[in-house]
Structure 1
Amino acid sequence: MICRKSVLKLLLSLIVIGLIFISLLLGYFVVERNKTVVLPKPTGSFAVGRIGYDWVDGSRNERKLSIWIWYPTDLNQNAKKADYFPNKWEIAQERDSGITSYLQQNFGTVKNNSYQDMPLSTKQTNYPVIVFEPGMGNIVFNYTALLENLASRGYTVVGINPTYSSRYVVFSDGSVAYRTPEGSMPESNPTDKQLNEVGAKLIKTWTEDMSFVFNKLGEINAKQGSMWTGHIDMAHLGAFGHSFGGDASANACLVDNRIKAGIDIDGYLYGVEKVPEKPFMFILSEHQKNTIDLQEYHKIREDFNGLKNDGYLLEVSKASHFNFLDNAIFFSPILKYTGVFGAINGERGLQVTNSYITAFFDKYLKNIDSNLLKQKSSDYPEIKIQIKK
């Protein structure tokens, strides 16, 4: 009897200790995920405006896109900071993530550097345009640090949320389009053939999204009565993207002659038959030593070797595939402890990436040269750079 009571007492003690531990852990998550996080300050001289549009491509079935634009603005007394995620997008994100949203950063506590619905800056007559597409499943707000920085340097930066490929896309009327199997890459042990076939089909859709957006920009630039009228420099267009969005950017550079230069951030070229014949940059994370990762790494190096001139290959030491997202500086312990993010400091990784992206587009869209594109820089020891001229 005494032994049985001792066992029960021990079990109760363990249960109490377990409950205390769980309570402390939950308390830690609540406190940490709600701490304010401030995105890196943009490096340019312009304040940054942000505005959203819903654009429908009538030439394709069910191709409605949510477009968000970051652009140079002049601050006034009516300037209002934009939410990191617009309210309806934040609600959709929490619903999509479910209970796991409590194990990561509360996006409502993230402070960005953009001002909502501001007029375009009058400091220049017009501004070159760069179109951006995110990685598969992601949305453009996940890359705000990269997009804000370019806008602060005098670019109009247009972010496309790929409908049915992003986990969710929220339109201005509140309707939500969720990711579908048709809009996604196969996940259950696909063959290389399946990956390339599905990838090629999706790349075509994403590339058509880019070309449609360039068409639409031309329309609003010519249309009277818009804040954009005559202020979009359609002679200097660039494209870039992360992961699958980088693949689409490479393909867009091939098929759309209006694009002058492009960047692929850590993207494997699914279904892209040849590399662009215009200035192009590959930015790579530090690839792991597993077979699949090494295959992709060697394929990207082959693609770089196929560039004719004005080609660049950058490798960011200690960065992983997801260090190019804002999430690299957010509270996300599970992702960090499981190696989703590399060992490089999150803010430093974004700073390095921003510096080279800006240098590249400054050279090929503004004719402003940079030593960063000539040789390895002592300011950025994390970067290995190869150049084809």
Structure 2
Amino acid sequence: MNVTVFGLSPVELVALASAVALVPARWLPPRARHLSTLAGAALLAVSATVLAVLGIRWQLLPVLAGGAIALAFAAPSLLRWRAGRPVRRARWWLALPGSAACLALILAGAVAAWALPVPVFPEPSGAYAVGTTVVQWSDPDRAEIATSRTDDKRTVVVQLWYPAQDAPPAAQRARYLGRTMREAQLVARGEADYLGLPGFILDEPPRARTSSVPDAPVAGGGGRFPVVLFSPGLGGVRTQNTAWAEELAGRGYVVAALDHPYDSAVVTLTDGRTIRTRVAATGDQAEDDRRAAGWTAVRAADLSFVLTQLGRLDRGEIPGLLTGRLDTRRAAATGHSLGGAAALQAARQDPRFAAVIDLDGFPRDPVTRPFHQPVLALTHDVEPGETPEYIPRLTRVLQLSTATSYRLTVPGTAHLTFTDAPLFLPPLPALVGSLGRTAGPRITAEATIAFLDAVLRGESGDLATALSRYGHLTSVS
């Protein structure tokens, strides 16, 4: 796992420290000035060389530039001193603005590196190591409605995280956002485009490695694992909740997360095609609601199809690592945002799902009706006047369940707190909540595992008390 401090790797910290040290060098007494300049220049040159080999993040460019400018002003004094010539320095009132500008440039880069770090994924805390694999399945019974080709069948890309055997320490960990660097970069740029952000804002996530090992052997023991299907948010991708998925897999669940083509920001198919989202707001609320209901219905059908495929995989009808290890009778439909709405709709339409988890998703099924599965709905801390129909509508849907369901509002959260976003986006409360880099993903995992252990594994205990530790709980029965 990468070790970072304030979002900076050790070599980046050396570059930062050396650049900062060069700025005040001209203000020191002669001997201290020359030693500081020599040491700072040497460390800056070495760290810049190492970064050039490893790949320089754009956030470090202002740091290196500021250090280089400071060195350019300090070097003449050093050279004159070594040549035995009189040392001249610019007057303080001329040098002070230059020193301040260099320091500001360096600190701007450091702040950018802190705000937009390479995400560091926590090691799963469960008894199992974690493996991951990616599959692609096409549904012969459903046409792809997003295209005009009559022979185009609905296809989904699914990433599985599962309990695995312990891997050697040197085993390569899975890349975040994609199977290859190219795929990860395409996904990151697609997400940035979808969000209307400059592409470089999401340059760091493709560099990250997660805690799982690609195609690792499945954990021994021969037992079957409960399965948890996951649908991402609108424009989201299958990997957006990787930290959550890995924690569940370490606790003995198999997580199957879906890419929904033409809805997810970017989907890369095995034939090399890259499918970008066709989702776009019209500005007409009624039309946008109608479209959202349509996307939700397609996603719900995708979840049911993947559950069918997992059953075939377990029976050996589809070759794969997890044959004979999946307990599809203990399956949960889960999702974030629009994916949460799809999970609710999938459960109402498909009784094979035994439980539902809705991570801050507004229900979109236009025809609500009773269903039998228990639901855990995690919601962010909704401000007064913010989407006033959200909580009342969610509560009405939960009341349709014939089982006891729960709505858990987690203080200090925002909509993206329940994803991996806090690991790599700026820690702005309105964007990712105020819980810090790791608390949001951790709370999301712990609360959902408590619910899944109770409803899928039948573990005894007071579920309401366990959930109440994470926020304000409302029980609906």
Common fold by TM > 0.5: yes
Aligned residues of 1:199 and 1:271 also touching (Cα < 8 A): no
Task: Report whether the alignment pairs 1:264 with 2:368.
Answer: no
Distance change >3 Å, CA 260–CA 344, structure 1 → 2: same
Answer whether contact 1:34 1:109 (CA < 8 A) is retained.
Answer: no
Tell me which residue corresponds to 1:160: 258
**Deviation by residue 1:156-183 (Cα, 9 ceiling, x = unmatched):** 11000111111111223432100014xx
Per-residue deviation, residues 329-375 of structure 1 (Å, max 9, x unmatched): 22x33xx447212222342222222111001111111111343x233
Query: 2:307 corresponds to which letter in structure 1?
Result: F
1:129–1:232 CA contact under 8 A, matched in 2: yes
- In structure 2, what is the equivalent of residue 303 of structure 1? 397
Confirm or deny: 8 A CA contact 1:376 1:383 kept in the other structure: no
SS in 2 for 1:301: helix
* Counterpart selection for 1:287 from 382, 388, 394: 382
Find the counterpart in structure 2 of residue 85 from structure 1.
177
Q: CA offset at residue 281 of structure 1?
A: 1.3
Q: What is the deviation of 1:327?
A: 1.2
Shift in Å, 1:290: 2.7
The one of 180, 200, 220 aligned to 2:293: 200
Give CA-to-partner distance per residue, 1:12-31, whole Å, 9 cap, x none. Answer: x9x98998688446633664
Report SS of the residue matched to 1:263: strand
Residue number among 372, 387, 396 corresponding to 1:277 in the alignment: 372
Q: After TM superposition, give the deviation of residue 36 of structure 1 in Å.
A: 4.7
- After superposition, residues 313-352 of structure 1 pair within 5 angstroms as 313-330=407-424, 332-333=425-426, 336-337=427-428, 339-352=430-443
2:127 is matched with 45
Shift of 1:321: 0.6
SS in structure 2 opposite 1:238? strand
Distance in 2, Cα, partners of 1:387 & 1:31: 42
Which structure is richer in relative contact order (CA contacts within 8 A, separation 6 or more)? 1
For 1:50 and 1:316, the matched residues in 2 are separated by 29
Q: For residues 209-288 of structure 1, what are the structure 2 equivalents within 5 Å?
A: 209-223=302-316, 226-274=320-368, 276-288=371-383
Shift of 1:211: 1.1
TM alignment of 1:108-127, pairs within 5 A: 108-127=206-225
AA in 1 matched with 2:306: V
The number of equivalent residue pairs is: 366
> For 1:230, what is the secondary structure of its paired residue?
coil
- Inter-partner Cα distance in structure 1 for 2:244 and 2:293: 27
Q: Cα RMSD between the aligned structures?
A: 2.8
Of 240-249 and 195-204, deviating more is 195-204
Structure 1 residue runs of 5 or longer lacking an equivalent are: 1-12
TM-score, length-scaled by structure 1: 0.85
Equivalent residue for 1:67, pick from 158, 177, 195: 158
Report the AA paired with residue 235 of structure 1: R
What is the TM-score with the length of structure 2 in the denominator? 0.70
Q: What residue ranges of structure 2 are gaps of 5+ in the alignment?
A: 1-94, 145-151
Q: Which residue of 2 aligns with 1:383?
A: 471
Q: How far, CA to CA, are the matches of 1:197 and 1:285 in structure 2?
A: 24
2:432 is paired with a residue of what secondary structure?
coil
Task: Report the structure, 1 or 2, having the larger strand content.
Answer: 1
Letter in 1 for 2:272: G
Structure-2 change in CA distance of 1:377 and 1:358 (3 Å):
closer
Q: Flag the structure with larger Rg.
A: 2
User: Where does residue 228 of structure 2 map in the other structure?
Assistant: 130
How has the CA–CA distance of structure 1 residues 40 and 226 changed in structure 2, closer, same or farther, with 3 Å as cutoff? Answer: closer
Q: Could you tell me how far apart the structure 2 residues matched to 1:377 and 1:131 are?
A: 21
Partner of 2:110: 28
Structure 2 counterpart SS, 1:71:
strand
Q: Following the alignment from structure 2 to structure 1, what is the Cα–Cα distance between the partners of residues 221 and 211?
A: 19
Q: Verify the 8 A CA contact 1:129 1:238 in the aligned structure 2.
A: yes
Per-residue CA deviation, residues 233-292 of structure 1 (Å, 9 max, x unaligned), is 12211110001000000011111111111111111111242253211111111012235x
Mapped partners of 1:281, 1:30: distance in 2: 37
Aligned twin of 2:450: 359
Please say if residues 428 and 434 of structure 2, whose CA atoms lie closer than 8 Å, have aligned partners that are also in contact.
no
| Deviation by residue 1:89-144 (Cα, 9 ceiling, x = unmatched) | 32203433377243356014434211111121122421111110000011121111
**More off after superposition, 267-276 vs 255-264:** 267-276
**Aligned 8 A contact 1:56 1:65 in 2:** yes
CA contact (8 A) 2:132 2:214 kept: yes
Secondary structure of the corresponding residue to residue 119 of structure 1: coil
Cα distance change of structure 1 residues 301 and 24 upon mapping to structure 2, 3 Å threshold: same
Distance 1:370 1:328, change over 3 A: farther
Whole-Å separation in 2 of the counterparts to 1:223 and 1:130: 19
SS across alignment from 1:339 = helix
Superposed CA deviations along residues 188-239 of structure 1, whole A, max 9, x for unmatched, are: 2x23x32332222111110110111111112222226643222211221111
Q: Within 2, Cα distance between the matches of 1:244 and 1:33? A: 27
Is the CA contact (8 Å cut-off) linking 2:129 and 2:164 kept in structure 1? yes
- Structure 1 residue 325: Cα displacement: 1.2
**Percent sequence identity over matched residues?**
23
1:197–1:271 Cα contact (<8 Å) kept: no
The answer on whether the counterparts of 1:131 and 1:238 sit within 8 Å (CA) in structure 2 is: yes
